[in-house]
Structure 1
Amino acid sequence: MQERAMPHNTSAGQRGSHVVVIGAGWAGWGAAKGLCEAGVRVTLVDGMADPTGSQPVTTKSGKPFEAGTRGFWKDYPNINALTEELDVGSIYTGFTTSAFWSPDGLEATAPVFGESPQWPSPLGQVLATVTNFKRLPVRDRLSIAGLLYAILDLNRSDRVFQHYDDLNAQALFVRLGISDRMIDDFLRPTLLVGLFKPPEELSAAVAMELLYYYALAHQDSFDVRWIKSKSIAEHLFQPLSRRLVARHDLRVLGGTLARRLHVSAATHVVRSVELQDVRTGDITVLEDVDAVVLAVGAKGLKALMSESPECSKAAPELVAAASLGSIDVVSSRLWLDRYVPIAYPANVFSRFSALQGAGGTFFMLDQLQRDSEQALWGDEPPQGSVVASDFYNAAGIAAMPDQEIMDCLMHQLLPFTHPEFRNAKVVDAEVRRYPGSVSHFSPGSFRKRPPLETSIPSIVCAGDWVRMGDREHGAKGLCQERAYVCGLEAANSLIRRNLVKGSDPSKTLQHPVIPIRADEPQVVLGRALNKLVMGPIEGFGLKLPWFG
């Protein structure tokens, strides 16, 4: 394979420092925005052929396809600000109700909490969901009370957080006395589609951070809405990339993998980044690199560290992060010959043996994107419902042939949500597999997750799995808002520590980050009282019983 050097086309004296951002998800775009707007030269690298959203992803028959249907929660202030800044118009649906389904039928619905009378948390959530559990007895619902205390206790100190992180969520639930039905009918499916693993394979700390938004945050914090046409990349990444390219000379290298980081063994300074063309296999080297933002997951980091011995030696925390597990995802779309009038556009599968331990969701795109239905069918006239279904922790599902996955949906899953699915026929379908595409937050994994700032000052990390320290924002689980903010904070870190400068140093400013809403007074008071009481108790050598 041919190798050649690729200096940036403009000298550092004219354009300031040069940063390579590896990964073009929310974290990568956040970092690129923060750096570009500070006058820093940026090269954004991603393995996708077109990470800018300018060329929509389509099926063989020309219909649109998106990997994973992702929601936008109420407390997404920075993504909401980006949407307004880009002036892209009305791109979101209203907030929607979600439904949980089992082989017995409808189990529960998650309402639009903002439409109910507003009460203090968690009273508001309780009152808003009194009639939403269709089969779960009241005694099982009340068994979750101990979990509310544990969520309050979670951040009492770093040591306490680590204790919870070492526990698996299932063990904590059992020790807290939560009923089996509450775990299996609600908590398990929620975690499978929120953190992509069952509770016995998840850190209790990370599980509680997700559940906090349902139980103790503001009553309407769990309200969610969706993109109402096209895709996230087309509506947000495309206009952002166009702006950064036009105004700040952002350079985007799609269809390109970062293969190796060249780091000086003597000075621990990044010298260059080795790239590989996905299509041709050709090797090139980006010279004149002042800093690198690693906006990749465990799988990408592992590949990069295996080829970067100097970096691995200088930053062992990156090697530790690369050793964490990752989770397989399968995404599918079904185009049907008739409309299925299911009442809820966003849905979760629960307790189906056909899932083989996976978490499953499905979305009625013909409802969510009703105003642009024709676009869902490409050049063909619309015939019926379009169902997007995603499976997480999906190693078993991924091993099945495409036709078996479609048959599983049409015969073993969807008919339990509405009988009309039994009469529907699939006129077109697409199944795609994404092995190791999301991070696995296993028990004890927190200490191994990558830090925002690494042992190599000019290498920073960005992503929803990154430990942000005092820059922490929002849920520490997987969410678009946290990934985007972490990208902004990675850029800010390089600027704040004077590791990079723009063409005009006086205008090299950090990007503003909007904080999420503060906890309600009763929650703050509860945490403070718990800390006040538990300090002396632990001073006598006593500890909470679920720590064993």
Structure 2
Amino acid sequence: MWASPSSTALSVPSIPAAGWRRRRHCRAELSPPPHGPLPKKVVVFGAGWAGFASAHHLIKQGFDVTLLEAGIGPAEEIGVRGFWYPYRNIFSVVDELGVEPFTKWTKAAFYSPEGIEVELPIFQDLPRLPAPLGALIYPQFPRLPLVDRLTPIPLMAAVIDFDNTDMAWRKYDAMTSRELFKQFGCSRRLYQEVFGPVVQVGLFAPGEQCSAAATLGMLYYYVLSHQQNFDVVWCRGTVEEKILSPWLKSLELKGLKFHGNRKPTDFIINEESGCISGVACGQEIHKADAFILAVGVSALQSIITSSPLLQTRQEFMNVLKLDTIDVVSVKLWLDRKVKIPNAANVCYGFDDSAGWTFFDLSSIYDDYDNEAATVLETEIYNASQLLPLKDEQIVANVMPYLRKCIPEFQEAVIVQQMVVRCPMSATHFSPGSYRYMMRGSTSFPNLFMAGDWIVNRHGSWSKEKAYVTGLEAANRVVDFLGEGNFAKIIAVEEDEPHIEALRNFNRRANEIRSQLPLARPARNGVLIRVFFKTRFLPYKIREDYTNLFGPALKYKQCPSSLLVDSLCGRIGRNKGEMIEYDLIRESTKSSFFSLIFLSGISTYVPGVLGCGHRRGLW
């Protein structure tokens, strides 16, 4: 829907003169009233959670706000998206809007080709345990042994060490998610059946393609920080229909100007001030006092490639180095009612490269509540191999997986289908990508950024982070223009006392270690673990010897076999009795607790906490 140009949109000289006379007349009507000047103007690009957050606050502060969107309406979210317990800022604004779009808290399940693997309860209904015990104890694992469920305990060393600071992100970002779980002792089975699927649907890619820093941030926010954080509600229809469209109408009543089908093609700079003075959207130029780019990675990359001005700034050129992920959504109408135990389901093991979920829309959406048939939606992440296929081929790929999860689908017939392809629609938090992510402020004094991929220190994730960065961008506009009040941003729930105490102790210990010449080099040491067959016990019981070699260059370049020989000589064991070994060079896990867990706990409890480190299991 094309809106008529506002006073902030000036046509270029190629427009006929009559058009110019009409616009001059409009500008005369909006001349400053006798009692004061016109409000300052702000242009926001992107009608998603970030853009709406910025526009919402700036309108309340009396600014003249224009919201531009590449589509015809509010930016639709990909498929079905949950609203998790810690989305406190989003729940607050939804209450302010006076809408009631959400279901009750729901349970979820994980499926593999063998059937159901994990059943998640509603955690807030259960007695609260210190983190992360609730996340480990309360879920039902029909097939996963207790010994595997205990192996993530050493991972808390990394969780404690990762405090969402810039240093923590740079420290863990070069490592892959899979390496993180392996090096901190998680068993292979636990990774394959629990953590791997969580990473695939949370970060949209397999663990070997995801940053360990992003993994720790996502896991801590949703799973490990507080027991109830993984509880989720769903929108009882599309987010656009239930939340964004009513929100847009309320903002337009307050003076917001919304224009769809507008894509920025270049920016105009004021050479004297260094500020952006206008933005071109095809044949239109929108002038304003401040600008907010609240768009995703692929949208910003498209803007950068068409804007010579943005190409002069390294921070924007770095964005071109970021990757995105393809998503495919498949909605199916079946000819009969099929009982699906849980509304939301995570699936894995069918395709190593793609994670996927399926949702029972009959129990989530109001529109399908009385349907005689079953309506479900499947989302496949990292689905580039499906994009070129025809709809029928994609459905043919999906149905065998669904039938393995829910056997009742075997007899059901598809009566209607809808396939939506979303290329380059999700951010890929790949190893090493953090240094290319943008911050909220830019080298242009009046151009600000917002979105779920923008670096900030709030600690939230996904749409909650997008909303928070939108408020942060609005606050930067308020600060730059010197008018209005700052938005109040609800902080994430504080760390539980024992986590906070451990983090403080870890920081102090690391500060002390960094000042000791003998301890400082341990950051670049070599950690080696050797497993021997125990002489008087069954073969499955193994002895575990761990040694942290010094940082000297000779150790870093020394062949693994010589390091194993050295360790065997130190402990007086025959190398012929060795079953396997694991060696980590230049480990990033230099924190105090990392060394304690890897060199201490894993040594003394090899049958439980140390089993994930064994090369044979990975």
TM category, shorter: 0.7 to 0.9
How far has the Cα of 1:307 moved from its partner? 2.0
Q: Indicate the residue corresponding to 1:57 in structure 2.
A: none
Structure 2 vs 1, CA of residues 238 and 160 (structure 1 numbering), >3 Å: closer, same or farther?
A: closer
Partner of 1:264: 270
Q: Structure 1's 158 and 86: CA in aligned 2 closer, same or farther, altered over 3 A?
A: closer
Q: CA deviation at 1:134?
A: 1.7
User: Would the alpha carbon gap of residues 399 and 135 (structure 1) be closer, same or farther in structure 2, given more than 3 Å must change?
Assistant: farther
2:176 alignment partner, one of 151, 168, 176: 168
Provide the rounded CA distance (Å) in 2 between the counterparts of 1:30 and 1:52. 13
CA offsets per residue over residues 170-207 of structure 1, 9 Å max, x none? 12222222221111111111111111111111110110
Aligned to 2:539: none
User: By how many angstroms is 1:530 displaced?
Assistant: 1.5
SS in 2 for 1:396: coil
In structure 2, the residue corresponding to 1:497 is in which secondary structure? helix
Q: CA deviation at 1:416?
A: 1.2
Cα distance in structure 1, aligned partners of 2:177 and 2:368: 41
Please list the CA deviations of residues 489-519 of structure 1 after superposition, one character each: whole Å capped at 9, or x if unmatched. Answer: 10111102336x4xxxxxx222221222211
Q: State whether structure 2 residue 394 is matched by structure 1 residue 405.
A: yes
2:103 to 87, 93, 110: 93
- The answer to whether residue 149 in structure 2 is matched with residue 141 in structure 1 is yes
Q: Distance in 2 between matches of 1:322 and 1:297?
A: 12
Describe the SS at the equivalent of 1:258. Answer: coil
Q: 2:428 aligns with which of 440, 448, 451?
A: 440
Q: CA deviation at 1:80?
A: 0.9
Between the two proteins, what is the percent identity of the paired residues?
35
The residue that corresponds to 1:460 in the other structure is 448
Partner of 2:508: 532
Q: CA deviation at 1:214?
A: 4.4
CA distance in 2 between partners of 1:32 and 1:312 (Å): 27
Calculate the TM-score normalised by the size of structure 1: 0.87
State the match for 1:473 in structure 2. 458
Deviation at 1:25, TM superposition (A): 0.7
Q: Is the 8 A contact 1:264 1:310 kept in 2?
A: no
SS in 2 for 1:96: coil
Which secondary structure does the structure 1 equivalent of 2:154 belong to?
helix
Distance 1:323 1:294 in 2: 18
Flag the structure with larger Rg.
Answer: 2
C-alpha distance 331-157 of structure 1, shift in aligned 2 (>3 A):
closer
Match of 1:509 in 2: 485
Alignment match, 1:393? 382
CA change 1:491–1:156 in 2 (3 A) is closer
Counterpart residue number, 1:320: 318
* Aligned partner letter, 1:45: L
Equivalent of residue 235 in structure 1, options 220, 234, 242:
242
Residue equivalent to 1:349:
347
* RMSD, aligned α-carbons: 2.2
* Alpha-carbon distance in structure 2 between the residues aligned to 1:363 and 1:266: 55
Residue of structure 1 in register with 2:284 after alignment: 284
Residue 570 of structure 2 corresponds to residue 547 of structure 1:
no
Unaligned runs of 5+ in 1: 54-65, 277-282, 375-380, 502-507
Q: How big is the shift at 1:528?
A: 1.0
CA–CA distance in structure 2, aligned partners of residues 97 and 209 of structure 1: 23
Partner of 1:115: 125
Partners of 1:152 and 1:162 in 2: CA distance? 15
The one of 61, 72, 78 aligned to 1:49: 72
**What is the aligned counterpart of 2:497 among 501, 504, 521?**
521
Question: 1:215 Cα deviation (Å)?
Answer: 4.2
Structure-1 separation of matches of 2:377 and 2:459:
27
Shift, 1:123, TM fit? 2.3
**1:340 aligned residue:** 338
Partner residue, 1:450: 438
1:248-263 mapped onto 2 (5 Å cutoff): 249-263=255-269
In 1, Cα distance between equivalents of 2:71 and 2:500:
44
Range with greater deviation from structure 2 (264-273 or 188-197): 264-273
Deviation at 1:11, TM superposition (A): 5.3
Pick one of 484, 488, 500 that aligns with 2:471.
Answer: 488
For the residues of structure 2 that align with 1:136 and 1:530, how far apart are their CA atoms? 32
**Distance across 2 between alignment mates of 1:454 and 1:413:** 45
CA contact (8 A) 1:18 1:291 kept: yes
**Alpha-carbon distance between aligned partners in 2 of 1:394 and 1:156, rounded to the nearest angstrom:** 30
| Aligned partners of 1:148 and 1:215 also within 8 Å | no
8 Å CA contact 1:156, 1:527 repeated in 2: no
Deviation at 1:312, TM superposition (A): 2.9
Deviation string for 1:135-181 (max 9, x for gaps)?
12222222211211101101286434311011111122222222211
Name the structure 1 match of 2:354.
358
Residue 78 (structure 2) pairs with residue 67 (structure 1)? yes
- Structure-2-length-normalised TM-score: 0.77
2:299 is the counterpart of 1:293: no
Deviation string for 1:72-91 (max 9, x for gaps)?
A: 01111111111111111x32
Which digits, 9 at most, give the CA deviation of each residue in 1:190-238, with x for residues without a partner? 111111111111110110111113443121011111012x221122212
User: Gapped runs of 5+ residues in structure 2?
Assistant: 1-10, 528-586, 590-618
Q: Is the alpha carbon distance of 1:427 and 1:223 closer, same or farther for their aligned partners in structure 2, counting shifts above 3 Å? A: same
Relative to structure 1, is the Cα distance of residues 452 and 156 closer, same or farther in structure 2, using a 3 angstrom cutoff?
A: closer
SS in 2 for 1:49: coil
Contact in 2 for aligned 1:22/1:295 (Cα 8 Å): yes
Which protein has greater RCO, CA pairs closer than 8 Å, 6+ apart? 1
- Rounded to whole Å, the distance in 2 between the matches of 1:11 and 1:322 is 42
Counterpart of 1:200 (choices 196, 208, 214) is 208
- CA positional deviation for 1:15: 3.3
CA contact (8 A) 1:102 1:349 kept: yes
User: 1:15, 1:40 within 8 Å by CA — same for their partners in 2?
Assistant: no
Residue 52 of structure 1: CA displacement? 7.8
Q: Is the 8 A contact 1:262 1:311 kept in 2?
A: no
Aligned length: 501
- Distance in 2 separating the partners of 1:246 and 1:467: 33
| Residue matched to 1:504 | none
